[in-house]
Amino acid sequence: NAGVTQTPKFRVLKTGQSMTLLCAQDMNHEYMYWYRQDPGMGLRLIHYSVGEGTTAKGEVPDGYNVSRLKKQNFLLGLESAAPSQTSVYFCASSYPGSGYEQFFGPGTRLTVL
Amino acid sequence: GNSVTQMEGPVTLSEEAFLTINCTYTATGYPSLFWYVQYPGEGLQLLLKATKADDKGSNKGFEATYRKETTSFHLEKGSVQVSDSAVYFCALSNAGNNRKLIWGLGTSLAVNP
């Protein structure tokens, strides 16, 4: 099992460019999450999904969109990147009966110039 | 609402010292409680968890006891090692929280040889 994987690991964008971050999990988990981590601010939830075809907003959804077309994949899109979106992005997944324990990917470090 | 408060870091200790990182929570009902660890340059991984009052979670020499009377879940280790240097996050999940985790801001630990 690869667990939760994230693509790419690093990316540099210019302001206004767009990109998609891919999260994939091979554990058949129902729930998936996208977080951003910034110094001194802990983890902040961007969007999450409680099942294939469903998504919901988290604490900081502005400037991001997501899609969950397949159960194993959760995509995070930036339509027009801004320097404020420079961050480390983590994807996680969980399943019913786990007490909502979450399993994390290794992260994507994004820099927006 | 639900919230988690952790002691602020950074915490700096010498090898073999005793570690306590305080975590208190506010929640309705009966949440599950977690400690996650993030080693430098990596994603978060579950360190230990407790799903009901008086449960003790333990792993890798770390322990935490779910104290409902004091709404606390303090992390302890009797003798830290340099390899324990990391950021530690306390979190809770609650059935009424739509499968999301509520996170503390993290406590950075540096252990010197």
pLDDT at position B97: 63
Q: What is the pLDDT at residue A2?
A: 83
According to DSSP, residue B34 is labeled E
Q: What share of chain A is helix, strand, coil (3-state, %, to 5)?
A: 5, 55, 45
Partner residue opposite A42 with nearest CB, options B32, B51, B105: B105
Nearest-Cα distance to chain A for B81, in Å, is 23
Residues of chain B with confidence (pLDDT) below 70: 95-98
**Interchain pair B89, A43: CB under 8 A:** yes
Among B36, B73, B37, CA closest to B52 = B73
pLDDT of residue B98: 62
- Positions in chain A whose pLDDT score sits under 50: none
**Which tokens belong to B85?**
């240097």
Burial A19-38 (b: 16+ CB within 10 A, else e): bebebbbeeebebbbbbbbe
- Among A40, A41, A90, the residue with its CB nearest the CB of B44 is A90
| Sign, Cα dihedral of B4, A36, B93, B33 | negative
